[in-house]
């Protein structure tokens, strides 16, 4: 409310005045009687200072004559004074209007796609998939269907069990959780829900806080099976259903899960040998139009290092304007081949990194049946990893569940 009043005063304009003379108190009273808007009134030495609305300035002429006080204008504040100052500068005002219109038009499109969560898929891979389904930087926000994006990502990437697409300002933010992530089943709206399995496995632990358990320790379940139902039947003394309630199920459920691991790479590989030749410079890009400093003579083979910034107003209003620094480092290709021992060492290192990621997610590994073979010019790691992990995910109660 205070901000709204301040904005209104700025839009209509106001002046700060200094009031001198013996009748200054009477002058203030006469202004109040004539409903003249006066605020920020303060006494300084032998005079008053106050703020008065621009449209009330003419109303103080009669009180001035009656009280014989003297008024000095100290400051002029507000939009009317700015317009008057620049009214002869039509080019400036036109530029401001064009800039405002341009910002509004650009706010109708998506100019930044950000991804958070997950580790198996790179941002480039997910972004490329989004582009293949018609979601890209520059698309109109009206053409974005967040529920459709979520569904398509889940269907295309089987390891991704939870997706949330969020549209804020000119940004599209994709949050994902993969199969090894502990799924958050909390329901902020507390709407009725079941808890379903995110993968096949054997139940090793179940603690149910709300809902009706459908499985017990030792049961084998399939992905999508209901583990805890949100349908709770209230029984009477004769063990018959008296009434049925629908609740937001809540439980901690862990299962023993078999994961099929496979990793393969060729023994032959190429290594970069940098020549020491470099080129660097700054650039600015607006939409797809780019101005650089060194693109006239590129190397045949080079690595491009880029530090790019995107201009944005506030945290959510990103614009299609980029600037940054780039450098090109020239290199030559040298063909090499791993020895069998080196290949096995690299395969083991990859497997250890995979285990480390699982442990960071709180997943317990209880058996490793992965074998590493070198054959036909390739190193192949394949086998089953047995682990204990949470397999819960919230899901709306089905009509069938309600009927039951």
Q: What DSSP string runs through 270-324?
A: EEEEEEEEEEEEEEEEETTEEE-SSTTS--SSEEEEEEEEEEEETTTEEEEEEEE
Helices and strands: H and E segment counts in the chain: 9, 22
Residue 3: predicted pLDDT: 45
pTM above 0.75, yes or no: no
**Each residue's pLDDT expressed in tens, for the chain with a length of 404 residues:** 444 566 667 777 888 989 888 888 888 888 888 888 888 888 877 888 888 888 888 888 888 888 888 888 888 888 777 777 766 666 777 777 788 888 888 889 999 998 887 666 778 888 889 999 999 999 999 999 999 998 899 888 877 878 889 988 899 999 887 765 545 555 555 789 999 998 999 999 999 999 999 999 999 999 999 999 999 888 877 778 788 889 999 999 999 999 999 999 999 999 999 999 998 888 888 887 887 765 556 788 998 888 889 988 877 888 888 888 888 899 999 999 999 999 999 999 999 999 998 888 889 999 999 999 999 999 999 999 999 999 998 888 865 545 44
Virtual torsion, Cα 291, 173, 138, 135, nearest 10 deg: 130
In eight-state DSSP terms, residue 89 is -
In eight-state DSSP terms, residue 189 is T
Beta strands per DSSP E along 338-397: 364-375, 378-390, 392-396
What is the SS3 assignment for 35? Answer: coil
Which residues are within 8 A (CB) of 113 and not within 5 positions of it... i.e. 6 or more apart? 127, 130, 135, 136, 137, 171, 172, 173, 174
3-state SS of 190-242 is: CCCEEEEECCCEEEEEEEEEECEECCCCCCEECCCCEEEECEEEEECCCCCEE
pLDDT in tens, 129-163: 999 999 999 999 999 999 999 889 988 887 787 88
The pair of structure tokens assigned to 105 is: 């038009």
Residue 288: predicted pLDDT: 78
Beta carbons of 22 and 88 less than 8 angstroms apart: no
Q: Which residue has the tokens 């250890």?
A: 352
The pair of structure tokens assigned to 248 is: 């937001």
Q: How many other CB atoms are there within 10 angstroms of residue 126's CB atom?
A: 19
Q: Burial code of 254-270, b = ≥16 C-beta within 10 A, e = fewer?
A: bbbbebebeeeeebeee
Q: How far is CA 173 from CA 7, 123, 166, in A?
A: 33, 12, 5
Beta carbons of 152 and 362 less than 8 angstroms apart: no
């Amino acid at each position: 409310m205070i901000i709204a009043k301040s904005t209104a005063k700025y839009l209509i304009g106001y002046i700060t005045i200094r009031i001198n003379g013996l009748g200054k108190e009477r002058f203030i009273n006469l202004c109040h009687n004539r409903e003249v808007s006066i605020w920020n009134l303060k006494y300084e030495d032998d005079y008053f200072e106050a703020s008065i609305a621009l449209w009330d300035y003419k109303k103080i002429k009669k009180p001035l004559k009656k009280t014989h006080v003297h008024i000095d204008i100290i400051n002029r504040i507000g939009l009317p004074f700015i317009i008057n100052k620049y009214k002869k500068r039509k080019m400036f005002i036109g530029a401001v209007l064009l800039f405002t219109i341009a910002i509004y038009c650009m706010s109708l499109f998506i100019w930044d796609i950000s991804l958070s969560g997950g580790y198996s898929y790179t941002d480039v891979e997910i972004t490329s998939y989004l582009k293949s389904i018609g979601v890209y930087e520059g698309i109109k926000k009206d053409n974005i269907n967040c529920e459709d994006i979520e569904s398509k990502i889940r269907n295309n990437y089987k390891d991704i069990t939870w997706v949330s697409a969020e549209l804020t300002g000119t940004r599209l933010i994709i949050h994902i959780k993969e199969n090894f992530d502990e799924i958050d089943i909390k329901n902020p709206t507390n709407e009725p829900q079941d808890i379903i399995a995110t993968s096949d496995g054997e139940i090793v632990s179940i603690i149910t806080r709300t809902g009706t358990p459908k499985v017990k320790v030792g049961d084998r379940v399939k992905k999508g099976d209901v583990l805890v139902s949100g349908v709770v039947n209230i029984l009477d003394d004769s063990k018959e259903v008296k009434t049925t309630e629908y609740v937001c199920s809540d439980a901690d459920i862990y299962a023993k899960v078999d994961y099929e691991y496979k990793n393969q790479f060729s023994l032959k590989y190429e290594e970069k040998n940098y020549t020491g030749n470099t080129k660097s410079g700054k650039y600015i890009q607006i939409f797809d139009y780019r101005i650089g400093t060194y693109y006239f003579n590129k190397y045949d083979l080079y690595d491009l290092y880029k530090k790019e910034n995107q201009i944005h107003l506030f945290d959510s209003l990103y614009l299609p304007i980029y600037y940054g620094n780039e450098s090109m480092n020239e290199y030559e290709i040298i063909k090499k081949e791993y020895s069998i021992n080196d290949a096995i060492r690299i395969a083991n290192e990859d497997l250890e990194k995979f285990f480390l990621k699982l442990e960071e997610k709180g997943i317990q590994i209880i058996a490793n049946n992965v074998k590493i073979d070198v054959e036909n010019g390739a190193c192949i790691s394949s086998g089953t990893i047995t682990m204990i992990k949470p397999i819960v995910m919230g899901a709306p109660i089905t009509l069938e569940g309600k009927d039951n």
